[in-house]
Structure 1
């Protein structure tokens, strides 16, 4: 049985989502930030015959994200909710879950993308390095962060300085960097941080400073600090070179992350 969820269902939601906090980064983050009663956010739950919550479907603006602990859930029912929504534009989530929902969606697919999805939990054995030159950015560094990203073509459109400032103040994002001669040359950040998990994003190094292990140090220090707070870390990647860096640090692939654009 599928029904809309409310604040009264929050404990049941956490019971389902918490064991896989990295996999459910976006759902957990949106629930913590916005709850169940916002105009732009809705949550549905699928209950088994014993009344136990077995799957959730989150709508944030135009994006739907389903999650189920196993393959036994009403995927067709979730697809019906998605297809009938006049503001639907995106389906995203773990491939193991979205692959069951996607075939039942009646809208025309425009584009599909598949990304590697990896996570790092409490094991810090592979994070042994000298991190003394890695610094954590503060609000005073917002402009310098933007300056670095503007020098790297694939990061030109990654957020605005206002967004970075807002997210840093709210505690949903943090940034670590290495500098040379007073200039930021390598960087790594988190996004969508919540009380249980965080995502590694924006890993970049300027040309001329690559292949020196700088990005690995930025990520390593970031991971140590976040893990020390009892959180799990996750990330997307589709670049094999980036994947090798993450694997050396200790990230392990858990699934693929699918993005379906309608």
Structure 2
């Protein structure tokens, strides 16, 4: 049986999601930040015949994330996601979301590695560069940097989501600037009591090969690990993967995004 979840389900839901806390950091973070009664966020649960929770589906704006460690009602969750007039923006564990492919109109598919870091493995030395932490006043500068990078997609909702992330302390942005212009940044999102996701690792194409992003990543790892939180990230570029692993990340699975 599938039904909407509410605050009354919280303890059961959290116990369920903590089976794989890193893989569920988006769902955990959004619940902690926004709860169950928001216009932009909804959650559904799939319960077996004995009333035990076996699957969770999150809608955050126009994106969906399902989670289940085993069997669940794939068709039921697909029906929930069909209530849209455009391709579904879906993401999750690769082996789970692949089951939805025959049932939904999905956007472009991207498969990535999912990795995590929960210890500082590099020598802790003073950075060669001044690394700053962004505020809401820096949002437009962050987006302007991302637009200069061809690999980045900056959809219309980016500004609102970044502002909300900074306002609610569910994300951070660290950056380096040259002559007052932002040239490299690393962001986190979905920060919760257990973990956070690294996103938006970028450097101006004309300012690369100076080690900017690696230096910022070290600062991010230090700040989070020191307060007992795990950092997670996606990568699909083997060269990037090698850099992250030198900084202490290790693979824990595969993650697929459609959209």
Q: Deviations over 1:121-146 (max 9, x none)?
A: 42222464543634232435445534
1:160-239 pair list within 5 angstroms: 164-180=162-178, 183-239=181-237
2:54 maps to 54
Gaps of 5+ in 2: none
Equivalent residue number for residue 149 of structure 1: 146
Indicate yes or no: 2:246 matched with 1:248: yes
- TM-score under structure 2 normalisation? 0.82
SS at match of 1:117: strand
Inter-partner Cα distance in structure 2 for 1:74 and 1:143: 42
Aligned CA distance change for structure 1 residues 137 and 6 (closer, same or farther; 3 Å):
same
> How many Å separate the matches in 2 of 1:176 and 1:61?
25
Partner of 1:116: 112
Query: How many angstroms does 1:162 deviate by?
Result: 6.6
8 Å CA contact retained: 1:190, 1:199 = yes
How many angstroms apart in 2 are the aligned matches of 1:206 and 1:125? 27
What secondary structure is seen at the aligned counterpart in 1 of 2:101? Answer: helix
Aligned counterparts of 2:123 and 2:20: Cα–Cα separation in 1: 22
In 2, distance between residues paired with 1:161 and 1:75?
33
Task: Quote how far apart the aligned CAs of 1:149 are.
Answer: 3.5
CA distance change for structure 1 residues 53 and 132 in 2, over 3 Å: closer, same or farther?
farther
Aligned pair in 2 of structure 1 residues 59, 209: CA closer, same or farther (>3 Å)?
closer
Structure 1: where are the runs of 5+ without partners?
A: none
* Aligned residue in 2 for 1:98: 97
The TM-score, its normalising length taken from structure 1, stands at 0.82
Change (3 A) 1:57 1:127: farther
- Distance (whole Å) between structure 2 residues aligned to residue 161 and residue 81 of structure 1: 27
Are the equivalent residues in 1 in contact too, given 2:27–2:65 (CA < 8 A)? yes
Question: d(CA) in 1 for partners of 2:76 and 2:158?
Answer: 38
1:182–1:67 Cα change, 3 Å = same
Structure 1 distance, partners of 2:189, 2:160, is 15
Paired position in structure 2 for 1:44:
44
1:14–1:148 Cα change, 3 Å = same
Q: How many residues align?
A: 256
> CA distance change for structure 1 residues 141 and 64 in 2, over 3 Å: closer, same or farther?
closer
TM-superposed deviation, 1:79: 2.5
CA RMSD of aligned residues (A): 2.9
Pick which of 122-131 and 230-239 moved more.
122-131
Q: Which residue of 1 aligns with 2:8?
A: 8
Q: Is contact 1:68-1:97 (8 Å) kept? A: yes
What is the CA–CA distance in structure 1 between the aligned matches of 2:181 and 2:187, rounded to whole Å? 17
1:215-237 deviation digits (Å, cap 9, x = unpaired): 11111111211222222222222
Q: Which moved more, 1:39-48 or 1:128-137?
A: 128-137
Cα distance, 1:203 vs structure 2: 1.2
2:132 equivalent in structure 1: 136
